[in-house]
Structures are given as C-alpha cells and as structure tokens.
Amino acid sequence: MKIGIFCSGGDCAGMNPAIKAFVEECYIRNIEPYLIYDGLEGLIDGNIKKAEHSDVSGIIYRGGTVIRSSRSKRFFEKHYRAVAHQNLKNEGIEKLIVLGGDGSFRALEVFYDDFGIDFIGIPSTIDNDIFGTDYCLGVDTALNVIRRAIDDIRDTAASFKRAFVIETMGRECGYLALVSALTCGAEVCVIPELELNLSSLEKKLKKEVEEGRTYAIAITAEGSNMSETIETWFEEKIGLESRVTKLGHIQRGGNPSVFDRLIAHEFVVFALDRLEKASNNHHTIVTKNGKFDFLDIETVSNGKYEIKPELLKMGRILSGLNQGE
C-alpha cells in the first residue's frame, strides 16, 4: 500500500510532528509513505516524493511544515483535479492523509467523488473551529504563544499605566481570545459568540480605577472587528491611555508543545489504522471527550462549531454580562 500526506491551508505547530509520525509509522506497517509538497498545488504540479527517514529527521521540534502548504483555486476546476489524480496514479498512491481545515476537507471530498481516492482529514487549525472535534492540531501551541505575548505586554501596561487591546486570530470563532482572556487574567474579552455590554464594563472598570487600578488588558478576536473601538473606549470612557497590539501570524509559529506533539502522533496512528482496515474513506478524525472517532466530511462541513457553553459562561463577566443575561 502507498499513502501520501500533505498540508493544506494555514500552517500550524504540530504539522511537523504529524509528518514525522506518519513516515515512521508507515515503515513499521510496511506501507510506502509519500510526501506531497506545497499542498493541493503540489498535488497538481506532481511535487511528490517517496519519504525516507532522513526527510523527517530532526523536524519534531519545528513549527510550521517542512512539506509546506498552500491554498489552491485551481483544484476546484475538474481539469486540474484530473491532473492531480494522474500524478497519484503515476506514483501508485492509493490513499491520502490531509492536515488542514474544513475547506481542505471539502476539496478532498470533491476529489473522492470524482476519482474514489480514499482520504482521512486530520483537523489542523489554530482557530479550533472544526465541527465535531473538541481539539484541532496546533491550538495548544498557539495558546502558549499568545500567553507569552500577553504576559510580556502586561509588563509594559503596568509600567506606563496603560490599557492594551490585544487582538488574536479567529475570524469567525473566538476560542483563542476567550481561552486566552480567561487564563491570562484579562479584564475585557470581545468575541463574536458573546454580546458586549460596554456600559456595564465601564461602570465596573471606572470603580476599579478609582480604587487604584492603573492598567487593564482587553483580548479581542479579529472576527469581532472591535479592537480600535475598544482602544478609543478605554481612553474616552475609562481614562486610560491605550494601545492596540495585533498578534497576527506569530500565533501560527513556535515550537510545538508536548500536547501537540503527542496528539499529532495519535491522530496519525488512528488515521493509518482506518486507512489500512477500511475502504471508502472520506472522513475526518475527531476527538470528543477524550476519545477518537471518525465523521464523514458532509457532517463536518455542514455542522457549525460552537464553543463549549461552560467556557462561554465563564467569559460572560469579561464581556460585561451577568450570568443570567
């Protein structure tokens, strides 16, 4: 059996540990492993190589992905999918593992419908917004990158009596912002999933400033589009000089955490187990309540990820809401 692996969409820490585990597990199982470079674009261009141990030696501690990634408009044209299929046939590759998000999984579902190429998707996105799984590869590392940044910014905030608005990634999902706000002691959290009561927060923070508070931290998700608004609010309503820091792409990088290295290996093992034992695979591997399972792509694509109600409840006070609101 020959199986290929590639990355698609945004990179994240944990991809390299997954690639290393894939190659090593394949050789243990007498499977021929293939690396597909540059994601879906590489699949079209035939940038495919049989993997050797030397290709993955020393990559487990590195962020990003050594086989690179891409986004591909070409892949949504059937002509280019046919080219990609022929490239796989030329190498004798029968099945695929893709590290990516739901957009990547949808692309592979179309590929499966066209040519019957089995695949398993491993959820890999720092936004942690894929339906059906509690955890996506790379999230723990991203949260630790954010935590370090907030801790460092707090030093300056305290030194200058300033409010800092720190924007995390998360276009439609506020998971990173919410968890970071809760674990870093922020005073304000702004995410798409929670209404924002600035009047309540104003009353609370003004009282704290009167009682001696000299600085404040607000965490916003990029999808809220509220960073500059909160900056102005701090200055005009709370009376604190304010700055905005947008963390941007540093959140995708960094050495993979122990947790991301371990779950990357677990994802790969379960994916290979499925590909070895079953056919007609067009599924995403998910983890729910500490257990691994598989969901078909249609279910994953049509579902909408929701942050756990328990986390949202804890975040309400940081959005100016009472528990009963």
Asked if the domains 2-138+257-302 and 142-250+309-319 are classified in one and the same CATH topology, the answer is: yes
Provide the percentage of residues in the chain whose pLDDT is more than 70. 99
In the set 127, 129, 140, 260, the catalytic residue is 127
Mean pLDDT, all residues of the chain: 96
Which residue's structure tokens are 């998707």? 121
Assess whether 127 carries a catalytic annotation: yes
**How is residue 243 written in tokens?**
């700055």
pLDDT for 34? 98
pLDDT for 39? 98
Question: To which CATH superfamily is domain 142-250+309-319 assigned?
Answer: Phosphofructokinase domain (3.40.50.460)
Is residue 298 over pLDDT 80?
Answer: yes
Among 258, 277, 252, 306, which Cα is nearest to 130's? 306
Per-residue pLDDT reduced to its tens digit, 242-294: 999 999 999 999 999 999 999 999 999 999 999 999 899 999 999 999 999 99
Q: What is the Rg, in whole angstroms, of the alpha carbon atoms belonging to the chain?
A: 22
- Beta carbons of 281 and 119 less than 8 angstroms apart: yes
Per-residue pLDDT reduced to its tens digit, 185-236: 999 999 999 999 999 999 999 999 999 999 999 999 999 999 999 999 999 9
* DSSP label at residue 191: -
Is residue 82 over pLDDT 70?
Answer: yes
pLDDT for 322? 79
**What average pLDDT score do residues 49-69 get?**
98
- In the chain, domain spans: 2-138+257-302, 142-250+309-319
CATH code assigned to 2-138+257-302? 3.40.50.450
CB-based burial of residue 72 (10 Å sphere; 0-12 exposed, 13-18 middle, 19+ buried)?
buried
**What average pLDDT score do residues 11-23 get?**
98
CA dist., res. 324 & res. 204, Å (int): 17
Among 291, 270, 290, which Cα is nearest to 281's? 270
